[in-house]
């Protein structure tokens, strides 16, 4: 089942395109509704702000920064069925940075995996929506709390799907901070060695780590992935058109794994949060949240 603005259109031409898309195994939408995807991204940001305001803290800056990517993935590129989360032919989205959970919960809710009434439990004791992902949540493919493992897991999934003759694809989000991990580069070598052209790495280069800016000299990120044998592009990760166009080009079967280096801005959509120097984990007084939510609406109205 493919979700997104295309499927919901009642236009006859769109209906014919849908029929053609559905007849091709694992084929994403034929064209992108950019305004519709931007609206999806705004909805994700609204959900994240509501979750963080309930807890009073969280990894909201990273979530706001990656909302455009998640909207493009879940409502244009990814093939899934929220009523059947373990559907064998689904595409897999792997969130390696488990602390970005606030973003994936928002996307899963928007996609129909979670009820919106559950979102206010984010980060609370006893909730199944902790601040770092657990895989008992429908639609969560891996536990991402220990950083540096998502790409390796994704390479394994991609290899397994190819052995099974499946046309499903793997989309793995990793962060620039995870490029400090040697396991990430071991996975990059393996992905190229085993011709994992059904794998797309989504590299969130937002420039921050726990204590401030990224400290290890990891640039040039795109050139490094090219040197490891990956088909690679670099985009503004907060520009929906650039994201969708890059994802379309990553559909090619060329025996190479794919990487999209996304330059994102922490707190994107809320200027006050965008200006924070220490944005890795944000704590906000209860009195401030209403103003921040109003700022999101004003900036995106």
Average of per-residue pLDDT across 105-112: 94
In angstroms, the Cα distances linking 108 to 30, 97, 113, 156, 261 are 22, 16, 5, 24, 23
Length of the chain measured in residues = 301
CA distance linking residue 239 with residue 246, whole number of Å = 11
Model confidence at 6: pLDDT above 70:
no
248-260 pLDDT per residue, tens? 999 999 999 999 9
* Domain around 22: 5-299
Average of per-residue pLDDT across 199-216: 78
Which is more confidently placed, 257 or 214?
257
Q: For a pLDDT cut of 70, what percent of the chain falls above it?
A: 83
pLDDT of res. 100: 83
DSSP string, 266-301: TTTT-HHHHT-SS-SSEE--HHHHHHHHHHHHHHT-
**DSSP secondary structure code for residue 165 in this structure:** T
pLDDT of res. 16: 39
Burial class (CB in 10 A: 0-12, 13-18, 19+), 121: middle
Model confidence at 12: pLDDT above 60:
no
Q: pLDDT grade, residue 55 (50/70/90)?
A: low
pLDDT of res. 218: 85
> What total of structural domains would you count in the chain?
1
Q: For a pLDDT cut of 90, what percent of the chain falls above it?
A: 53
Which of 57-61, 98-102, 165-169 has the highest average model confidence (pLDDT)?
Answer: 165-169
Which is more confidently placed, 253 or 136?
253
**DSSP secondary structure code for residue 179 in this structure:** G
pLDDT of res. 176: 87
| Lowest-pLDDT range of 64-68, 94-98, 232-236, 276-280 | 276-280
Q: pLDDT grade, residue 274 (50/70/90)?
A: confident
CB 86 within 8 A of CB 46: no
| CATH number of the domain residue 65 falls in | 3.40.50.970
**DSSP secondary structure code for residue 218 in this structure:** -
């Amino acid at each position: 089942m493919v979700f997104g603005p295309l499927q919901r259109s009642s236009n006859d031409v769109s209906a014919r395109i849908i029929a053609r898309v559905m007849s091709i195994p694992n084929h994403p939408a034929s064209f992108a509704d950019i305004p519709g995807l931007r609206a999806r991204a705004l909805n994700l940001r609204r959900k994240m702000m509501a979750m963080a305001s309930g807890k009073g803290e969280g990894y909201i800056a990273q979530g706001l920064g990656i909302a455009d990517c998640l909207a493009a993935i879940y409502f244009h590129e990814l093939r899934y069925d929220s009523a059947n989360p373990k559907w064998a032919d689904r595409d897999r989205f792997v969130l390696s940075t488990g602390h970005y959970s606030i973003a994936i919960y928002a996307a899963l809710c928007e996609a129909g995996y979670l009820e919106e009434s559950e979102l206010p439990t984010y980060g609370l004791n006893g909730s199944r929506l902790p601040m770092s992902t657990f895989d008992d949540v429908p639609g969560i493919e891996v536990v991402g709390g220990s950083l540096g493992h998502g790409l390796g897991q994704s390479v394994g999934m991609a290899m397994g799907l190819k052995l099974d003759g499946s046309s499903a694809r793997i989309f793995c989000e990793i962060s620039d901070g995870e490029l400090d991990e040697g396991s990430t580069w071991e996975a990059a070598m393996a992905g190229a060695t085993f011709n994992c052209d059904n794998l797309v790495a989504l590299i969130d280069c937002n420039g921050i780590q726990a204590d401030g800016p990224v400290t290890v000299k990891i640039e040039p990120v795109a050139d490094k992935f090219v040197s490891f044998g990956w088909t690679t592009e670099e985009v503004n990760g907060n520009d929906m058109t650039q994201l969708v166009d890059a994802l379309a080009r990553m559909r090619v079967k060329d025996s190479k794994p794919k990487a999209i280096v996304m330059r994102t801005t922490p707190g994107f959509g809320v200027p006050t949060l965008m200006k924070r120097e220490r944005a890795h984990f944000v704590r906000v007084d209860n009195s401030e949240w209403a103003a921040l939510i109003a700022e999101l609406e004003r900036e995106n109205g």
